[in-house]
Chain A
Amino acid sequence: MSGSAEKIPSGAGSEAKKEAPEKEAVPKSSEKNVNETINFLSPESHGFFNKMSEGGKAIVSKIYEGLHKIPQVSRIIGKLEIIPRQIVMDHYETKAAQKKDKMDGVDIEISYLEKSKTELENAVKKLKEQKIPDASLQIELRNIEKRKMKLLNSRDKIQTKFENFDNKMKVYANKRDQIADNLIGRFDEKLKPMEKDLGNLQTCKERLDLLSSAMELKHQKKMEEINNLEKQKGEIEELFKSIGKSDRAVKRNEAVKGLESIIAKRRGEMRKDKENLENRKTKLDKEIAKKNKKAGPYRDKREEFVRVKAIRPVKMEAPERGKEKVFEGKEEIKAYPRKEYSDSGEDENQAEEGGSEEKMETGTETETEDSPEQENKEEEKYGKWQTVSNYIDSWNLGIKNSEKKYPLLKEKMIDLKDFLRTSELPKDFQLNLEELLKLIKKYCKFRKIEFSDKDEKMMNKVLKDFEDNAKQISKSDENKEKAQAQT
């Protein structure tokens, strides 16, 4: 289908495209679509578009398809609304939702495993109480743990992908929002003075209407006066006739003729003046109406931008993940000594030997491994015995010593003076390694120094070795002092 779409002539290309979009991950774009799409793009983007891959152009064509039905003046609204919906919903949101469903599925599986584990643990407990062997069940329990571990690993990967899609969706939404915000801001900035000027125009219109009405009244009054003059002229003409003057003689009377002429002239002048004023008023009215009409769409657009921005991506919440705690214990290695079966005397001897063996072992053990109680005591004694400056100096020394082998590590050296100044800690401030690492991370973030998880692990290792060495030295010093004190 995809192959045939390429061979179909451009006129039918869009039809082929419409038939096949669901089946193909990347729809094919015909030349016609590309040409049409480019019409929807701003001129500044034409260059970038022409350099895009075929796949990219096809996606753009698909996205901009929806703009066909939108008139040119509302195209920006279309782009603010449709495009994010196309990109966000058709791609990221769908993918994020798919991952979320998968995660939920895995969670259900894990909960079933947990349930099985609990049931099995209860069974093991009962067997133990009845002194029945439970090793196979223990193995089954461990298998459940292994399966759970696999599921959790898989869930982690899915959630990472989900978070990735979720973030991409939000990044795009934020970019669009930023553009919408800028646009709304500029509109708000301009709409205020626009309303002021429209207000002025309205005032002008009202003043014009008032002037026009007043003029009308004034002209009317003057017209009445002229009509009155004409009436009086008529009366005088009648009087002339009554004293024996003929019509013709009256009409030829210079005063009558003069008055008639003036009256006609005045009427003409008033009509002309009225017409001129009316024309001017009409012209101004039109101009005011035109500006008012143009304002409407801009007001509407501002509201549309705000409404479009209110369309948010779907919220999909995934639980926050924490770091798994590292198992720090060790498997105790035992020699498993065997008792010899003999009389009580031999038993006692054996017991002594066994005891001495045990002591040796203990002795050995104490050399290689402390008991938990002793470890706690050590933690109390040595937990915060190192100072900030000791830790940081030893870290920097470690890097310096490895400079030849790992020259890039030099970037990871910490400026002690700067660290102390910014953290406002004295150099002899005592703290444990965990606390120091927290501070270092925050310091690096503040100073914009890259400090990855890998760096943290390395620092942790180096400083732990430093701590252990220092403890050993301190212990041996203590032992020497004790020995000297005894002698």
Chain B
Amino acid sequence: MDNNNNNQNKATGANSQNVQDLDNRLEALKKRAEEIGEEIKEINSEANKEMDEIESQVEKSADNLDKIYSDLDRAEKEAESELDKITLQQAEYLASENE
């Protein structure tokens, strides 16, 4: 009877040890998962920083381009207006020649 109790005690002791080990391992995994989380945050933060910089450059160039396109449109309009002016003058002159 004592032997059985001893054996049972020994088995229970071994079990506890294993559970403890497994729990420890789980804790280690949890810790690593937390660390990964921090690393992901850092990756994300760096990526967003880079994105901010690129976005700022894109915005700057885009604004410049909008201004250039606007200037070119204005140049066209002014040229068109000049052309209309000389055309109307010529037309009136031609009309007077024909009369």
Contact A79-B83, Cβ < 8 Å, known A53-B92, A56-B88, A277-B47: yes
Q: Which residue of B lies closest to A178 (CB)?
A: B82
B80, A75: Cβ atoms under 8 Å? yes
A208, B54: Cβ atoms under 8 Å? yes
Choose, from A108-116, A125-133, A219-227, A338-346, the stretch at the interface. Answer: A219-227
Contact A236-B26, Cβ < 8 Å, known A42-B84, A79-B83, A211-B50: yes
Q: Which residue of A lies closest to B83 (CB)?
A: A79
Option from B18, B54, B60, B91 in Cβ contact (under 8 Å) with A243: B18
Give min CB distance, A241 to chain B, whole Å: 11
Say yes or no: is A87 at the interface (Cβ < 8 Å to chain B). yes
B95, A48: Cβ atoms under 8 Å? no
Q: Which residue of A lies closest to B45 (CB)?
A: A273
Q: How many angstroms between the C-alpha atoms of A194 and B41 in the bound complex?
A: 38
**B41-68: contact bitstring with A at CB < 8 Å (1 yes, 0 no)?**
1011001101100110110111011001
Say yes or no: is A266 at the interface (Cβ < 8 Å to chain B). yes
In the complex, what residues of A have CB within 8 A of residue B68's CB?
190, 193-194, 197
Option from A25, A193, A239 in Cβ contact (under 8 Å) with B18: A239
In the complex, what residues of B have CB within 8 A of residue A180's CB?
79
Give min CB distance, A483 to chain B, whole Å: 70
Size band of the interface chain B makes with A? 35 or more
Q: How many angstroms between the C-alpha atoms of A76 and B91 in the bound complex?
A: 18
Say yes or no: is A198 at the interface (Cβ < 8 Å to chain B). yes
Q: How many angstroms between the C-alpha atoms of A179 and B76 in the bound complex?
A: 10
A194, B54: Cβ atoms under 8 Å? no
In the complex, what residues of B have CB within 8 A of residue A55's CB?
95-96, 98-99
Option from A186, A208, A245, A255 in Cβ contact (under 8 Å) with B30: A255
In the complex, what residues of B have CB within 8 A of residue A52's CB?
88, 91-92, 95
Q: Which 6 A-B pairs have the closest CB atoms?
A: A55-B95, A255-B26, A42-B81, A56-B92, A56-B95, A59-B91
Given A215-B43, A218-B43, 12 other A-B residues pairs in contact with their CB atoms under 8 A? A26-B99, A45-B81, A56-B94, A60-B88, A75-B80, A183-B75, A187-B72, A204-B57, A236-B25, A266-B33, A287-B58, A298-B72
